Structure 1
Amino acid sequence: MSGHSKWSTIKRKKGALDAKRGKIFSRISKEITIAVKEGNSGDLEANPRLRLAVQNAKGANMPKDNVERAIKKGLGGDAESYLAQTFEGYGAGGVAVFVECLTDNQKRTVQDVRAAFSKYDGSLGTNGSLEFIFDRKGVFELPVPEGLDLEEFEWEIIDAGAEDVVIQEDFITVTSAMEDFGGLNKRFEELSLELENAELQRIPNTTKTLDDEGFKRVMKLIDVLEDNDDVQKVWHNLEMGEGQEGLLQ
């Protein structure tokens, strides 16, 4: 998957920064609450979506009290009703940007997202306009467990439906087809491997590199979008160029 490793590096580094700001906790809390409300259950065994959300909460080192509060909120009758909303557009230099939101106020969200694109040299397109750029894939991320036989692990996980296994230093990224996501997640559970994150992602099948100014402009757009409480995920096809890693700080 050309460009995926560098693209993942941008995502992982920014993910760490988001965690420091606490934004990731609010996003996971919202997902837990929605999973409980829509599944009408706070039981992890009976609610696969909730089980996955709690698993991701553990991977992000989210406090147990936060998880329990989010579950209780979902079980209560006064939990907010959120609507899923997506936006597709281009940032500086023609970088594709796909935004996933959960909102209780569509008008506010549309205004905020449109303002962010306009401010940072971007433009919104119609839904479906980026369909040819992103593939929907299951992505599993975990640190390499001590004593793990990597060769045996690769065979096990490929047999379970993995399309790609990338091992970078002490971190493993496994990619699967969207339809194999559930089965592969179950296989990780059977192998007693603690995942840092597991989710359906939008993986770019083509990427773009920009000069330093363009790179910073697109990253600023992504920062502003990710800081919005209605935004759950921002996907893009920006590839980090030589020497641009320091610009993420």
Structure 2
Amino acid sequence: MSGHSKWHNIQGRKNAQDAKRGKIFQKLSRDLYTVAKEGGADPDSNATLRLVMDKAKAANMPKENIQRALDKASGADGANYQELVYEGYGPAGVAVLVEALTDNTNRTASSVRASFKHFGGELGTSGSVSFQFDRKGYLEITRDEDSDLDEDQVFEDAIEAGAEDVKTYDDQFEIYTDKQDFKDVRDALADKGYTFETAEVTMIPQNPVAVPEDKQETLANLVDELEDNDDVSAVYTTAE
């Protein structure tokens, strides 16, 4: 039994690592698609794309995954992709917003609806939960023991660049912008030498809600299943 238990533990860790890697690749794919759509799929003429591609390579993202994201953005794969948003409620009434990029709306709608049902949630109509979120630009700058970043300087530079808010934590700075100003703020800070762990336009819940302990795992499983869907590019919730 001890041998079986050891194998089970090793396999469990491997599965967890694979799942984490998959989510990293999914986020990178979304970033690649977004910046290639915004500034073109040629890294020679799109500096932001070069940075994301470097990050993807550093994460050991397969070349075919990188190319697939670029092909989607440029239409080089011949498919006609649509950006869709699904809205619904998960366990404990938590609002869930799902962004998808698909070449088959029937397939995607069916699979997203099934995921909600699997975990006691319900897919809603357009506008049923989106009003609970604000679309904001989000920049994350890592802060570690070796960092010489000065809090006041980061705050001053971010506000001067047009940011709305800066939150300081022991391990990172979080910078929020209006969605329209995101690119200008990102580029202005990059010009000052800042590097970003995350740089994206995202959905921020207006009033995060506490999730009962007995519903937390079910909600996490719903988000995991949605994020594992190849058509899904992002999942947002109002969970605290």
TM-score by length of 1: 0.76
Per the alignment, do residues 127 and 53 of structure 1 end up closer, same or farther by CA in structure 2, a change over 3 Å counting? Answer: farther
Pairs within 5 Å for 1:57-68: 57-59=53-55, 61-63=58-60, 66=63
Give the letter aligned to residue 202 of structure 1.
M
Q: Out of 125-134 and 227-236, give the one that drifted further.
A: 125-134
**Structure 2 residue aligned with 1:217:** 218
8 Å contact 1:25–1:57 — kept in the other structure?
Answer: no
8 Å contact 2:88–2:95 — kept in the other structure?
Answer: yes
* From 48, 51, 54, the counterpart of 1:55: 51
| Deviation sequence 1:58-86 (CA, Å, 0-9, x none) | 45643487386457746684353321111
| Deviation sequence 1:18-57 (CA, Å, 0-9, x none) | 8733233245336535754786541453x4xxx5455345
Distance across 2 between alignment mates of 1:100 and 1:71: 15
Task: Measure how far apart 1:175 and its partner are.
Answer: 0.6
**Structure 2 residue aligned with 1:247:** none
| Deviation sequence 1:121-148 (CA, Å, 0-9, x none) | 1111111122320001000012027211
Q: Out of 71-80 and 207-216, give the one that drifted further.
A: 71-80
Give the letter aligned to residue 62 of structure 1.
A
Distance across 1 between alignment mates of 2:230 and 2:109: 13
For structure 2, list consecutive stretches of 5 or more residues without a partner in the other structure: 1-15
TM-score by length of 2: 0.79
**Structure 1 residue aligned with 2:152:** 151
- Please say which structure displays the higher CA radius of gyration: 2
The structure 1 segments of at least 4 consecutive aligned residues displaced by more than 6 Å after TM superposition are 16-19
Q: Out of 218-227 and 125-134, give the one that drifted further.
A: 125-134
Asked if residue 165 in structure 1 is aligned to residue 161 in structure 2, the reply is no
Q: How many residues align?
A: 220
Per the alignment, do residues 227 and 77 of structure 1 end up closer, same or farther by CA in structure 2, a change over 3 Å counting? Answer: closer
Query: How many percent identity over aligned positions?
Result: 36
Asked if residue 103 in structure 1 is aligned to residue 102 in structure 2, the reply is yes
SS of structure 1 residue aligned to 2:156: helix
SS of structure 1 residue aligned to 2:157: helix
| Deviation sequence 1:123-182 (CA, Å, 0-9, x none) | 111111223200010000120272112211111111111111112112111111111111
SS of structure 2 residue aligned to 1:159: helix
SS of structure 1 residue aligned to 2:131: coil
Distance across 1 between alignment mates of 2:201 and 2:215: 28
8 Å contact 1:138–1:175 — kept in the other structure?
Answer: yes
Give the letter aligned to residue 25 of structure 1.
F
8 Å contact 2:90–2:119 — kept in the other structure?
Answer: yes
**Structure 1 residue aligned with 2:24:** 24
8 Å contact 1:32–1:54 — kept in the other structure?
Answer: no
**Structure 2 residue aligned with 1:42:** 42
SS of structure 1 residue aligned to 2:126: coil
**Structure 1 residue aligned with 2:180:** 179
**Structure 1 residue aligned with 2:234:** 233
The CA RMSD measured in Å over matched residues stands at 2.9
Higher relative contact order (CA 8 A, sep 6+): 1
For structure 1, list consecutive stretches of 5 or more residues without a partner in the other structure: 1-15, 240-249
